[in-house]
Structure 1
Amino acid sequence: MTDHDASRGRDGGPNAPATDGLRPLVRELVSIPSHEDATAAGDAIESWLHAETDAAVERDEQGNVFARTGDPDAPTLALVGHHDVVPPAASQTAVGDDGEERYVLEERDGRLYGRGTADMKGAVAAAMCALRDADPDGAKLCFASFVGEEVGGVGARAAIEDGFAPEYAVVGEGSTNYSGAGVTDVVVAHKGRRASTLVATGESTHASIPEEGVNAVYRACDAVDVVRELAFPQTTVMGEPVRGSLAVTEIDGGTAWNVVPDECEVTIDERTVPGERAPLERAESIAGVEWRVDQDLPPMACSDDAFADAALAAARESQSGTPEHVVKPHATDAGWLADAGTACVICGAAESGEAHTDSESVSWAVLDRCYRIYRRVAEDAKAFA
C-alpha cells in the first residue's frame, strides 16, 4: 500500500465518492492528441506513474507503458488498456494559446465529452489509480497501456513477442449497458475479425466477342455464391452463445464498358468466434479464384472460470445493478492476449456504440465504478490465482 492510499482504506460501497485524482488525470490524458502519434500521451502516463506510485515503470521501443508492483513470485494480474485513439472530428480539436493542437473537453450532466474519453483513456486512468491504491493479495499487479490498438493491435503484439505474458488480464474496453441500462458487465468472450479478398482472374477481350475471353466478374460472382451458402461460425463460452457473421462488402472489377474484365476482387468481412472459422477456402473451388487473408484479429474466450467469476463478483460488489457475463461484438487487444495464453476478461466504462463517435463521452460515475472493480479484483486475487 502506498502513502497515497493511507487515508483511503478500501473503497467499499457501490456509490462511493469520486476516486482521488481520477478526474484530473482523465482530463489530462484525454486532452493530449494521440491519433497520429501516441508519444505525448505515453509520456504523461509514464510521468504520473513515476510520481504517484512505487511501481517499477518501463517504456518499450513501441511506446507501450508498463508498471509492476507486488509479490514478484506470484501470478501476474494485468490491468490493460491503450492510449492511442481514432482520428477526431473537427469539432473535437482546437488550437491552444501555445499554438498546439489539443482535444476539446466538455463536461455536462455527469459526463466528460471528448475524443478518447470512452475508448479508452478514461478506463486507462481508472486502472492507473487502481494500481496506485490496491494492496494486491495473491497476485503481482501489472498495469499496461498499449499503442496501436486502433490499427490492429500493433503494441500488444509487440509486447507479447517481447515476452509480456501475464497469467490474468482485465482489459478495460467497454462493457457498460450490455445486459441492462446503468450496469457495467464482465465480458467473457468477443468476436474476432478476419478480412479477406477473393481474387478472380480471367482473360480479357472485346465485349462484342465475349466468347473469346474469360469473364473474371462471372468467376467472382460464382465464388460469391459459394460464400453466400456458408453457415455463420458460432460457439458457446461459459454458457453464452457467440455467433459470428459473414458478408461480402465490396466488389471491384473491369476497366471499361466495352472490355471483358480479366480481374475482379471481392472483399469479405467475417466476424469470427473462438475456435470456429467459416471455410472460405471453398471459394477456391471456382476456377481462376484465389482466396487471400488481409487481416485476422483473433476472437477472445476467457480460459479460466474462476477468474471470470471473481471479476463478476467484484463487479457486483462495486455497483447497485446486477452485472452479468456477456459477449462483446468486436475485437480488442484481449484477443491477442488470450491467443498467447492469458486468461482475459473485459470490463470498462465505454457504453455500446459510444466509441469512435463525434460525441464520444464517458460517465464519471461509471469510471469511479471501474476503479472499484479493478481494485477489488486485485485485492481478491486469491479467489482465482
Structure 2
Amino acid sequence: MTSSVAELTRTLVSIPSHEDETDAGDAIETWLREETAARVTRDAVGNVLARKGPTGQDGDGSTDRPSLALVGHHDVVPPADSQVRDDPGREGEYLVEEREGRIFGRGAADMKGAVAAAMVAFRDATPPDGCDLVFASFVGEEVGGVGARHAIEEGFVPDYAVVGEGSTNYSKPGVTDVVVAHRGRRGTTVTAHGVASHASEPDAGENAIYRAADAIDRIRALEFPAVDVAGEALTGSVAVTEIDGGSAINVVPDRCSFTVDERTVPGERIDFGVLSDIPDVEWTVDQNLPPMLCEDDAFAGRMLAAARECQSGDPELVTKPHATDAGWLSQAGTTCLVYGPSEPGEAHTRDESVSISVLERCRETYRQVAETWPESGGDDRSREENAR
C-alpha cells in the first residue's frame, strides 16, 4: 500500500465503481486496516467507516465523544469509452494518466482524489484530547445519497463533518474555498386528470392537457426561493423539465403529467399548494436532496483559517450550487462544511482531472482541522447518536 496522495488517487481512480463499488471499497478498507490502527468497519451497503481517538485507535468502542468526520464517496458516474482500458489483461479498468501536474480519469475530481486526501489526513492526524476523528466513504452518492442515508439510519451522525466535494476556484482562480451552504434538489411529478372524448366534440370531455397547462402557468409565476449566506444570495430555481400526455391526435386526453426540477435553498421550498384549486391535479415528490447550511461560525472560521494556512491565495466562505451528501448529514444534525479539490466543469466530463498540488493542499487542510477541531471536550449536547 502507498502513503502518497497522488499514488493513492491513481490507484482508486483505476478501479471501476460506476456499477459496483465493491472493489473500490475493498481497496479503501484494506488501506485503512494496513495504514492505521483505527476501528474500520464496512456496513451492509458497502460504506467504509473508520474511527480513532487521540491514541490512534478507538479502544473502547465508545461513540459518546465529540467527533469530526472526513467524508467522501467512492462511486462514480459511468465513464466515457476513452476512460476505459482495452489493453489485454486490463480490459475494463479505468484509464489513469498523469500530465502537467494533474491526474486524469473517471472519478479523479468527483471524488476519489478527495477521498485519497482524506484517507492520508485521517492516518496522519491526531485528534484533540477527548475527541474522535472519523473517516467515511459512502456508496451511491451519484444516485441520491444511498450510502449516506443508510449510514445515518444506522446511527452515523458525527458532530461535525468536512465533505470533500469540490470547492476549488469558486471565489477566484487558484484557491480552494470553504463552502458554508449549498442548494438541494427536489424533483416533483404533477399529474392532471381529465375525461377523454372524441376531439371533434371537445366539450364532451375534460382536457387534461389544459389543466396541466394551468398548473404550469402557476409554477412559472412562482418566485425563486433565496436566502442570504456568507454575504451573498443563495438563489434556488424552478423549471418544468418534461411533459407527457395524450394518446392520439383525435382524442381529448384524460391524463397529462409534467416534472418540475426545483433547486432548493436552506429553509425554503416552493409551495405546490398553489395548484390545489385546479380540479383533479395532484403532485408527488420523486426526489428530495436536502440543501446544507452551516450556522456554526466558529467551525467555519477554523476551517477557513486552516485553508488560508495551507495555500498562498486568499480563500473565502462561499456557497455551492450543487447538492452533496453534506445535505443528508446536515439534515440529520451534523454541522457540515464542504472543502475539496474539484473545480467547476471537471466532474462527470470526458477529460475529468484533478490537480495534484490541490490534492496535497486539501490533505494538509484536512489534517490541520482534524488536529484542532472539535475543541477539546466539545459541547454539552447529547452524543448518543454520534458516529459509530
State TM-score, norm by structure 1. Answer: 0.93
Aligned to 1:48: 31
Picking from 58, 61, 72, the partner of 2:41 is 58
2:231 is the counterpart of 1:239: yes
CA–CA distance in 2 between the matches of 1:344 and 1:266? 34
Aligned to 2:373: 381
Structure 2 counterparts to residues 125-274 of structure 1, below 5 A: 125-138=116-129, 139-274=131-266
Aligned to 1:346: 338
Structure 2 counterparts to residues 269-308 of structure 1, below 5 A: 269-308=261-300
2:364 is the counterpart of 1:372: yes
CA–CA distance in 1 between the matches of 2:374 and 2:26? 33
Q: CA deviation at 1:303?
A: 3.2
Structure 2 counterparts to residues 21-170 of structure 1, below 5 A: 21-71=4-54, 74-98=65-89, 100-138=91-129, 139-170=131-162
**Unaligned regions of 5+ residues in structure 1, if any?**
5-18
Aligned-residue Cα RMSD (Å) equals: 1.5
Asked whether the 8 Å contact 2:168–2:177 carries over to 1, the reply is yes
CA–CA distance in 2 between the matches of 1:289 and 1:231? 21
Q: CA deviation at 1:235?
A: 1.1
Q: Deviations over 1:235-281 (max 9, x none)?
A: 12343421101111111111111111110011100000001101122
Q: SS of the counterpart of 1:344?
A: strand
Classify 1:20/1:64 alpha carbon distance in 2 versus 1 (closer, same or farther; 3 Å).
closer
Q: SS of the counterpart of 1:91?
A: helix
Asked whether the 8 Å contact 1:96–1:102 carries over to 2, the reply is no
Asked whether the 8 Å contact 2:128–2:375 carries over to 1, the reply is no
Asked whether the 8 Å contact 1:62–1:155 carries over to 2, the reply is yes
Instruction: Give, as a single letter, the amino acid of the residue that structure 1 aligns with 2:298.
Output: A
Worse-superposed segment, 157-166 or 104-113: 104-113
Q: In the comparison of the two structures, how many residue pairs are matched?
A: 368
**Unaligned regions of 5+ residues in structure 2, if any?**
55-61, 379-388
Asked whether the 8 Å contact 2:67–2:374 carries over to 1, the reply is no
CA–CA distance in 1 between the matches of 2:157 and 2:186? 24
Q: Deviations over 1:43-69 (max 9, x none)?
A: 000000011111111100110001111
Instruction: Give, as a single letter, the amino acid of the residue that structure 2 aligns with 1:103.
Output: Y
Classify 1:36/1:196 alpha carbon distance in 2 versus 1 (closer, same or farther; 3 Å).
same
Q: Deviations over 1:85-125 (max 9, x none)?
A: 00111111123533541001111111111000000000000
Q: CA deviation at 1:182?
A: 0.7
Asked whether the 8 Å contact 2:230–2:319 carries over to 1, the reply is no
CA–CA distance in 1 between the matches of 2:246 and 2:3? 61
Picking from 329, 333, 336, the partner of 2:325 is 333
CA–CA distance in 1 between the matches of 2:209 and 2:91? 50
CA–CA distance in 2 between the matches of 1:380 and 1:97? 48
CA–CA distance in 2 between the matches of 1:44 and 1:261? 54
CA–CA distance in 1 between the matches of 2:15 and 2:87? 12
Classify 1:243/1:373 alpha carbon distance in 2 versus 1 (closer, same or farther; 3 Å).
same
Asked whether the 8 Å contact 1:223–1:284 carries over to 2, the reply is no
Asked whether the 8 Å contact 2:74–2:115 carries over to 1, the reply is yes
Q: Deviations over 1:159-198 (max 9, x none)?
A: 0000001000000000000000011000000000000011
Instruction: Give, as a single letter, the amino acid of the residue that structure 2 aligns with 1:283.
Output: L
State TM-score, norm by structure 2. Answer: 0.92
Asked whether the 8 Å contact 2:105–2:353 carries over to 1, the reply is yes
Q: SS of the counterpart of 1:285?
A: coil
Asked whether the 8 Å contact 1:310–1:383 carries over to 2, the reply is no
Asked whether the 8 Å contact 1:170–1:347 carries over to 2, the reply is yes
CA–CA distance in 2 between the matches of 1:20 and 1:33? 21
Provide the identity percentage: 64
Instruction: Give, as a single letter, the amino acid of the residue that structure 2 aligns with 1:124.
Output: V
2:315 is the counterpart of 1:323: yes
